[in-house]
A and B are shown apart, each in its own frame.
Chain A
Amino acid sequence: MAKIIETRQLTAVTKYFRIEAPLIAASARPGQFVMLRVREGGERIPITIADYDRELGTITIVVQAVGATTQRVCALKTGDDILDVAGPMGGHIEIAPGGHVCGVGGGFGSAALLCLMREFTARGDTTTAILGARNKDLLILADELRPLCTHLEICTDDGSAGFKGFVTQRLAQLIEAGPPKRPDSVVAIGPMAMMRAVAETTRGPKVKTLVSMDPLMVDGTGMCGGCRVTVAGKAQFACVDGPCFDAHEVDFDVAMRRNKAYVQEEKRAVDRAACMDRRETA
C-alpha cells in the first residue's frame, strides 16, 4: 500500500501524483519505473518514476488515462492508497558525464524528464529539455522543468506556445547548429511514434540516442518475457534489460505491432470497468 499525498490534474486526461514510497524513493534513478495495481483482480501496469525525494520518501508519477487501469488510477485522490507499488524496476539511464544531454518529452513522457534533468544538471552537464504537445493546453510540467535544466524548449504543433512544429524539427535545428547547441546525447521518452521520429532525426547526424520503450508488461521482473523488444536483432526484456535502449538499434515496427496485441480485450475492459463502477456507485 502506498498513500497518495498530493495530486494535480495536469490536462483533462493526465494526472500528477506524489506518493509515499520511502524504499523506492531511496533507490530510484532516472529512467526507472514502478509496477502498480489499484485493486484486487486488477492489472499490474508499468509507470515511469518521474521524480523522487529521498528525504521525504516520496516518488512522483504522472499517469495518462488511456484504458481501464489508468482510468482507475486517475480516479484516485489525495489520501487514497494505491494497493501495490513495486520498484524501482528496470535499469537507469547511464550517460557519461560532462556533455550536453538533451531530453525530449512527449505526453506523460515529459514527466520523466524531471529527475533526469535535475540529476544531470546537478552533476555539471549542460541540459536541454524539449517538450512537445499539440497545443499549449496539453503541455505539461514546463514550469517545473525550467529551473531543472540549462535550456527549456517548448514545441507545439499549432504554435500556441514556443516553437511551432514537432519536437523533432526543433531537435534537428539544434543538432544542425553545432556545439554548444548540438547535444552529445539525446534521451526520448513519450509515445512510440515520437520516439521513432527522434531516432530517425538523430540517426543521420550520429547523435547517441536512448529511447524508453513501453511494451506491454505483466510482472515487470523478467519472469514472463511479454515485454520483449527487438534490439540489434535480438530479443531483450524491456523490464530488466531496459526500458531504455539505443534508439538506432530498436525495431520499432515490431514494438508497435506487439503493443496492439490486446486491443480488443482492452476495449472490453474499459466497458466492463465503467459498468462495474456504475454498479458500485448505484
Chain B
Amino acid sequence: MPIKRADKTPMPVREAQQRAHDFIEVNEGYTKAHAAFEAERCLRCQDPVCVGGCPVNVPIPEFIHAVAMGDMAGAAEILRSANPLPAICGRVCPQESQCEAECSMTQRFSPVAIGHLERFVADWERTQPPSVQAKITRTEKIAIIGAGPSGLVCAGPPARLGYPVTIYEALHAAGGVLRYGIPEFRLPKQVLDWEIGLLKSMGVEIVCNVIIGKTLTLDELFGKMGYAAVFIGTGAGLPQFLGIPGENLNGVMSANEFLTRVNLMGGYDPDTADTPVKVGKRMAVIGAGNTAMDAVRTSMRMGAEKAMVVYRRSDKEMSARVEEYHHAMEEGVEFHWLTNPLEIQGNAEGWATGLKCQKMTLGEPDASGRARPVPIPDSEFVLPVDNVILAIGTTPNPLLTRTTSGLLTNKKGCLVADEKTGLTSKALVFAGGDAVTGAATVILAAGAGKRAAQAIHEALEARG
C-alpha cells in the first residue's frame, strides 16, 4: 500500500480579518493541484465504509478515483447519480459526522477531504455547458409544494422522464433555506441559481408567490388544477421562541427574521435593498447550531462590534458544523458556553439592553443523550446587548396542514410519511425534508426528495 500523507489538504480560505466584514465566500475552493493531491489520499477501500456514512450513499471512492485520474466529467457524473445538489452539499454537509467520520484514514490520520473534493468536482461542472435536455412526453402533471432542497431535488427525475412538473413556492424566490437562511459567504447564491436554472432548462416550471393552503388548497391541486401527484417539501420554517421575559422588546428577533432580512431581502447591500436590518454594537445570538453560527457571523459582517454566541451547554454538545465554528472563532466571535439566558432586559423606550444569564454545569445525560445543563446557584450576571437573536430551532409551518383534511401529522407537527417512499396519509401525496423530519439537513432533504420522485413515478406507472 502506498504511503499516504497524514493530513487533509487544507481548504484555502480568505483571511479572517478581511472576510469578517464582507459577504464574499470564505472558502476559496481547491485548485486542481490540491484536488489531485487530496484524491490520491483515498485508500480506495474494498469495503468503502464512507459510503455508508453518506445519507444518499454517494459512490465516494469511485468519484474520487475519477478525480485522481483527471476524469472530471466522469467524476461529476458519478457524483450527480447519487447526489443531485453536489455543489451545495460539498459546502454545507456536516461531513465530519457523516462520510468523513467513517473514512478509514480517520483511524490514524485525518480523513480524506470528501466534502472539499465534492465541491471541487461540482464547481468544475458549473463551468461546463449543462448537458441535460428533457422533453415533455407524459400527460400526468406533478405539483411540488416548496422550492427548498427537497422540492428542487424531487422535480429533477420526473422532468427527465418527461412529466410536466410545477413547483409552487410561497416566497418571491426559490431555494428555501438555501435562499433565505444560509448566507452568501457560505453558499453563494449563484451556486443555487445554477441548480435552479438547470431545472428550468429541463422544463420545470417554478411559480413563486403561491401559498398552497391559501392561494390554492392541496385538494384544488388535484381537482381544479388537474395534477396527478403532489410532493410536499414545505420545510420547518416556523421559528421557536424561548418564552423568557423581554422577548418582545425591540431589538429581539428570530434568526430566521434576521437572516431573511439580510439574505432573501438583500439587506447586506443597503445601497440596493429597501428592507432595513437592525444591527447594534453588541449582538447576542442564543443557540449553537448552524443557524446560530450563520446569524452571529452575519451580525459581524453587518457591523456589530461584539458578536456573541450564548449557549447553555458546552462546545461538545453544539450541533453546528465544526468548520463553521472554527471560522467563527477565527473571525472573532465570542462564545459564552454553559450560559443560560433567563431574561432580556430593556430600557424605558422598550429596546433591549441586557441579557440576564445564569452559569451552568453539565450533569447526567438527558433524553437527547447529551449532558443535561444544570444551573450553578448564585451565578447570575447581565451581558450588555443591543440585539438578541434567537436561534433555538424551528418547527414545521402549520399553514398547509391547517387547511388540508386527511393529512396526518405527529405530535411535533411533522407530516407522517413512509420512510422509503414519502407517501403521506393521502393517496398520491408524498412528502419529505424538514416538513417530515423536523429541522434537519440539506442532504437528508435532498435524499427524501429523490426517493419520493422515484415513488411518484412508480405510483403513476402502477395507476396506468
Instruction: Say yes or no: is A142 at the interface (Cβ < 8 Å to chain B).
Output: no
Which of B113-121, B157-165, B211-219 makes up part of the contact surface?
A: B211-219
Q: Which of B170, B241, B264 contacts A86 (CB 8 A)?
A: B170
Contact across chains for B265 and A43 when beta carbons are under 8 A apart: yes
Contact across chains for B278 and A262 when beta carbons are under 8 A apart: yes
Known: A222-B238, A235-B241. A43 touches B275 (CB 8 A): yes
Contact across chains for A41 and B273 when beta carbons are under 8 A apart: yes
Contact across chains for A44 and B265 when beta carbons are under 8 A apart: yes
Instruction: Say yes or no: is A240 at the interface (Cβ < 8 Å to chain B).
Output: yes
Contact across chains for B211 and A86 when beta carbons are under 8 A apart: yes
Known: A42-B274, A86-B172, A266-B276. A223 touches B250 (CB 8 A): no
Residue of B nearest to A273 (CB): B274
Contact across chains for A88 and B214 when beta carbons are under 8 A apart: yes
Known: A41-B272, A86-B211, A273-B274. A221 touches B248 (CB 8 A): no
CA distance A87 to B248 in the complex (A): 26
Which of B42-50, B89-97, B253-261, B359-367 makes up part of the contact surface?
A: B253-261
Which of A172-180, A197-205, A252-260 makes up part of the contact surface?
A: A252-260
B12-54, CB < 8 A from A: none
Tally inter-chain residue pairs, CB-CB below 8 A.
116
Known: A43-B274, A44-B265. A230 touches B248 (CB 8 A): yes
Count of chain A residues with a beta carbon within 8 Å of a chain B beta carbon: 40
Interface code A255-277, partner B: CB below 8 Å = 1, 0 otherwise? Answer: 00110111001101100010000
Known: A27-B214, A240-B398, A254-B248. A261 touches B275 (CB 8 A): no
Count of chain B residues with a beta carbon within 8 Å of a chain A beta carbon: 41
Consensus secondary structure, chain B interface: loop
Residue of A nearest to B390 (CB): A225
Contact across chains for A69 and B274 when beta carbons are under 8 A apart: yes
Contacts of A265 in B (CB 8 A): 276-278
Instruction: Say yes or no: is A80 at the interface (Cβ < 8 Å to chain B).
Output: no
A184-234, CB < 8 A from B: 218-219, 221-226, 228, 230
Contacts of B273 in A (CB 8 A): 41
Contact across chains for A23 and B239 when beta carbons are under 8 A apart: no
Contact across chains for B265 and A88 when beta carbons are under 8 A apart: no
Known: A86-B209, A257-B250, A258-B250. A68 touches B274 (CB 8 A): yes
Instruction: Say yes or no: is B100 at the interface (Cβ < 8 Å to chain A).
Output: no
Contact across chains for A27 and B172 when beta carbons are under 8 A apart: no
What are 17 residue pairs bridging A and B, where the CB atoms are less than 8 Å apart in the complex? A37-B172, A44-B172, A84-B208, A87-B214, A88-B214, A219-B180, A221-B170, A222-B238, A222-B397, A223-B397, A224-B239, A257-B250, A258-B250, A261-B251, A262-B276, A265-B276, A269-B276
Residues of B in contact with A (beta carbons under 8 Å apart): 170-172, 180, 208-211, 214-217, 237-239, 241, 247-248, 250-251, 253-254, 256-257, 260-261, 264-266, 272-278, 349-350, 397-399
Residues of A in contact with B (beta carbons under 8 Å apart): 23-24, 27, 37, 41-44, 68-69, 83-89, 218-219, 221-226, 228, 230, 235, 240, 254, 257-258, 260-262, 265-266, 268-269, 273
